[in-house]
């Protein structure tokens, strides 16, 4: 979805042509996997960070075009809302001090963004859902000035036959949010910290299943979205918000089963990630049927189509510097924020635990049915560290402290990550879990102290984020 397109409206023949190309490229990827022609590079880690622009009062500031022009950096780009941006840094080999280089690059880029924002009288804030965002902010007047976003809105409304989205979120504490919204801009209220892990092609299926399995733990440990429109909802309200913001069902395949466009998925993979791409092609209608303008060997239609299906764990095709196609996994459950130290700790925990479980015997997918895993994910998004997970009813917090953080350390060692760096990042995760002070927990406590003042909460959050210390040490 990062690529620009040149059209907003399409004809039936555009969809038919796109589907033909998509089917051919899906088969081509299958053939590349069967032939062993994909990259076997050692694990490579990467990240994307979505953030907010806010004004002096802590309100969303729809000025990303002005900000990006002043910044003048190709590594920071637009997101759907004019008050959102996305930061990207070069991926690094996971071994050695690669994670430290990722952190240093992100830290330098974040500091540059902060300076540019300050020159414009703004602040950049990394948080899952900005407490001060209102439904009235999420209008097409605040959609970023890119054809791809306008086309996305047009095509989503077309597939919904003009019906508005209904947001329907019930919280464990009894609060509820029910409203309707007529366009895709609800999606702009949810921002993420997305972790990428490229693995040798032969390991990709196991790594993907491991990424699925760890998702209840990563969504809970990184919870940072407890509020929406002033309501106290899930610990990670971003999950139901994003799923309902793009509520377009898939084609029915057998038994009337329908998947959402934002989805946890339907099953573990069996023999390769080709299964995920094939399911995408079969179950989801194209949203943006453009002529990709690239050679078929670059799989452009497959890549574009895949970018319009928001799995919480998304299989991606990319290319090494020498042009060899590779597979990587985009792990999407974790919210943006609270601090850069927290986010890098989350990245280390996620790739470490996934790496260890990908080599477990028996594999995690053999130990837990997929339907149980999916229920675990939503329970953890709703209740955070206190979620009781099926089938044994153990709390997320107890399972993390009882062994999963240690297994993440083993996985980082397996990846060859510098031991000192690994210990430092995982110590942050462990302290956060032991204290219960996630970003979501801190926001709720701060809101109580602020007497329900959402702007005061946002300003206090931005001040502490600027200090750079992990959230378990925030007052």
Q: Identify the CATH assignment for 12-46+143-437 out of 3.40.50, 3.30.590, 2.30.30, 3.30.70.
A: 3.30.590
Determine the pLDDT at residue 183: 93
The size of the chain, in residues, is 475
For 157, residues 6+ apart whose C-beta sits below 8 A from its C-beta are 183
Run of H or E residues at 376: helix 370-383
Domain boundaries, the chain: 12-46+143-437
pLDDT of the chain along its 475 residues, tens only? Answer: 445 566 778 999 999 999 999 999 999 999 999 999 999 999 999 999 999 999 999 999 999 999 999 999 999 999 999 999 999 999 999 999 999 999 999 999 999 999 999 999 999 999 999 999 999 999 999 999 999 999 999 999 888 888 888 899 999 888 999 999 989 999 999 999 999 999 999 999 999 999 999 999 999 999 999 999 999 999 999 999 999 998 887 775 555 567 889 999 999 999 999 999 999 999 999 999 998 789 999 999 999 999 999 999 999 999 999 999 999 999 999 999 999 999 999 999 999 999 999 999 999 899 999 999 999 999 999 999 999 999 999 999 999 999 999 999 999 999 999 999 999 999 999 999 999 999 999 999 999 999 999 999 999 999 999 999 999 999 9
Rounded Cα distance between 400 and 353, Å, is 11
How many CA atoms are closer than 13 Å to the CA of 193, on its beta-carbon side?
29
Joined together, the tokens standing for residue 238 give 């971003």
- Burial letters for 159-169: b for 16+ Cβ neighbours within 10 Å, e otherwise? bbeeeebebeb
Determine the pLDDT at residue 71: 98
Determine the pLDDT at residue 1: 42
């Amino acid at each position: 979805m990062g690529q620009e397109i040149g059209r907003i409206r399409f004809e039936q023949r555009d969809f038919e042509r796109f589907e033909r190309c998509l089917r051919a490229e899906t088969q081509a990827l299958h053939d590349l996997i069967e032939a062993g022609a994909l990259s076997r590079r050692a694990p490579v880690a990467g990240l994307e960070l979505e953030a907010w622009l806010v004004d002096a009062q802590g309100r969303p500031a729809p000025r990303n075009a002005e900000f990006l022009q002043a910044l003048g950096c190709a590594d920071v780009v637009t997101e759907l809302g004019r008050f959102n941006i996305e930061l990207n840094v070069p991926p690094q080999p996971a071994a050695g001090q690669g994670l430290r280089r990722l952190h240093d690059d992100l830290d330098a880029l974040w500091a540059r963004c902060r300076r540019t924002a300050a020159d414009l009288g703004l602040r950049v804030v990394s948080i899952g859902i900005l407490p001060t965002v209102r439904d009235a902010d999420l209008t097409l007047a605040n959609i970023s000035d890119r054809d791809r976003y306008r086309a996305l809105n047009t095509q989503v409304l077309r597939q919904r036959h003009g019906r508005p989205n209904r947001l329907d979120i019930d919280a464990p504490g009894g609060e509820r949010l029910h409203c309707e919204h007529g366009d895709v801009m609800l999606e702009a209220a949810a921002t993420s910290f997305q972790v990428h892990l490229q693995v040798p092609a032969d390991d990709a299926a196991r790594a993907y299943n491991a990424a699925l399995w760890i998702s209840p733990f990563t969504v809970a440990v990184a919870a940072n979205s407890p509020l929406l429109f002033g309501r106290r909802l899930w610990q990670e309200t971003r999950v139901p918000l994003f799923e309902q913001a793009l509520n377009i069902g898939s084609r029915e395949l057998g038994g009337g089963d329908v998947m959402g466009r934002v989805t946890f998925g339907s099953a573990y993979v069996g023999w390769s990630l080709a299964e995920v791409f094939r399911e995408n092609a079969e179950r989801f209608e194209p949203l943006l049927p453009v002529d990709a303008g690239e050679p078929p060997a670059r799989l452009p239609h497959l890549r574009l189509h895949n970018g319009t299906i928001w799995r919480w764990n998304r299989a991606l095709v990319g290319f090494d510097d020498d042009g060899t196609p590779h597979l990587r996994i985009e792990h999407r459950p974790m919210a943006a924020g609270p601090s850069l130290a927290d986010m890098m700790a989350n990245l280390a925990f996620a790739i470490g635990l996934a790496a260890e479980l990908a080599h477990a015997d028996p594999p995690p997918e053999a130990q837990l049915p997929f339907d149980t895993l999916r229920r675990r994910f939503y329970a953890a998004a709703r209740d955070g560290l206190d979620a009781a997970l099926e089938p044994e009813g153990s709390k997320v917090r107890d399972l993390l402290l009882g062994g999963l953080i240690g297994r993440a350390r083993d996985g980082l060692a397996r990846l060859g990550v510098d031991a000192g760096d690994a210990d430092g990042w995982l110590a942050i995760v462990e302290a956060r879990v032991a204290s219960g002070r996630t970003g979501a927990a801190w926001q709720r406590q701060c809101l109580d102290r602020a007497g329900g003042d959402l702007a005061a909460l946002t300003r206090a959050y931005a001040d502490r984020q600027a200090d750079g210390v992990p959230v378990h040490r925030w007052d």
